[in-house]
Amino acid sequence: MTRYLLDTNHAGALMRENPTVASKIAALTDVELNVCIPCVGELWFMVFNSGREDANRVKLLTLLASLRIVEFGEVEAEEFGRIRIELRRLGRPIPQIDAQIAAIARTGGYTLATADTHFNHVAGIAIENWLAVP
């Protein structure tokens, strides 16, 4: 079974019923779709920052009910610190929330579904971009 962790851009696209992401997910077999707490926070920001807060709240709650939510605990916090220093030494820092997402992906062995190329600099995580134009 492939265990995917959706980054905010992929979860947001799924929330907006993006046909590319929806068709990719429909074609997958034997998978587990997950979203992590840092991503959930970013999705709530998107809801509150939108002009359609009520409608988007319903969409987000529906999406969250269909996914497994992964926590950010002590193991992930330690890995977050490790990833930040690794990237700093490479001269490739990434946003802190993305470092948290990467830490969750790396410690949990998830394949990260993301369109953000800066995750390519994080060693030890598999990445897929479902938003890329074929």
Q: What percent of the chain shows pLDDT beyond 70?
A: 99
Contacts of 14-21 with C-beta under 8 Å, sequence gap 24+, read 14/63, 15/43, 15/56, 15/59, 15/60, 15/63, 16/59, 18/131, 20/130, 20/131, 21/130, 21/131
Does domain 2-128 sit in CATH 3.40.50.1010? yes
**pLDDT, tens digit (0-9, with 9 covering 90-100), for 44-66:** 999 999 999 999 999 999 999 99
**pLDDT, tens digit (0-9, with 9 covering 90-100), for 15-27:** 999 999 999 999 9
Where would I find the beta strands (DSSP E) of 8-116? 31-36, 68-70, 111-113
Which pLDDT score, from 0 to 100, does residue 111 have?
98
Q: pLDDT band at 132, cuts 50/70/90?
A: confident
Residue 134 has pLDDT above 70, yes or no: no
**pLDDT, tens digit (0-9, with 9 covering 90-100), for 71-97:** 999 999 999 999 999 999 999 999 999
Q: For residue 33, what is the DSSP state?
A: E
Contact between 40 and 67 (Cβ < 8 Å): no
CA of residue 122 relative to chain centroid, distance:
14
Q: Which two tokens stand for residue 16?
A: 């907006």
